[in-house]
Amino acid sequence: MKQYIKDGVIKTRNNIVIKKNGLQYINPTEAMVLEDGWVEYVPAPVAPTPYVKSREEIVEELVTKQWNERTDISNEEALDYMVIVYPWSELIGKELPVGKIVAHEGKLWRVRQQHIAIEEHAPSMSTAALFEVIEKEHSGEADDSIPYNPPMEIFAGKYYSEEGTVYLCTRDSGTALSHALSSLIGLYVEAV
């Protein structure tokens, strides 16, 4: 609803009473309002108040940034603080150093080779040379076998489990493997 101003007083048209020739006009027309000396009032735009981050927001941002710049994070530590790991999608176009932790599709992944993140090379089985999945650490003993979740590097003397079967690794793979352990019997593992 339009507002009008006269002598420093601001009113809407239906609140203006005009006295003319001994008569009072209640709810006058716009022409009558303007003729009586009222001018359409348009308030000056109010500049928005700039947002100022709270101390807590700044500390959270700094800690998250510092955490995500590290390359020396243990798997256990990464899993404990999974909520602050940057999603891989936010890192596209940036250089990823060896050891950096990224989050993708509900899992954490460690960078195996330094590279620039591109959309076509998201952490997955097909990028096993670039990333390996991070799992809860297990001792690798027969009673605490390591769940095999490719792409994953395996180590001699450790026990790995996949689809209900436990395997003993007979030699280090030296790189992340992407095949089922059952297809690696005789090459890297033996069924227990």
Q: Please give the full DSSP string across 117-160, using - where no structure is assigned.
A: --GGG-SSGGGTTTEEEE------SGGGPEEP-SSB---TT-EE
Buried b (16+ CB within 10 A) or exposed e, 114-136: ebebeeebbbbeebbebbbbbee
Question: Would you state the pLDDT for residue 118?
Answer: 96
Reported as a single tens digit per residue, the pLDDT across 118-151 is 999 999 988 988 999 898 888 999 999 999 988 8
Question: Would you state the pLDDT for residue 77?
Answer: 92
DSSP string, the chain: --EEEETTEEEEGGG-EEEETTEEEES--HHHHHHTT-EEE-PPPPPPPPP---HHHHHHHHHHHHHHH-S---HHHHHHTGGGSPBGGGGTTSEE-TT-EEEETTEEEEE-S-EE--GGG-SSGGGTTTEEEE------SGGGPEEP-SSB---TT-EEEETTEEEEE-S--SS-B-S-GGGGBTTTEEE-
- 172 near 157, Cβ under 8 Å? no
Question: Would you state the pLDDT for residue 8?
Answer: 93
Radius of gyration of the chain (CA): 34
pLDDT above 90 (res 6):
yes
Reported as a single tens digit per residue, the pLDDT across 156-170 is 999 999 999 999 999
pTM for this structure? Answer: 0.57
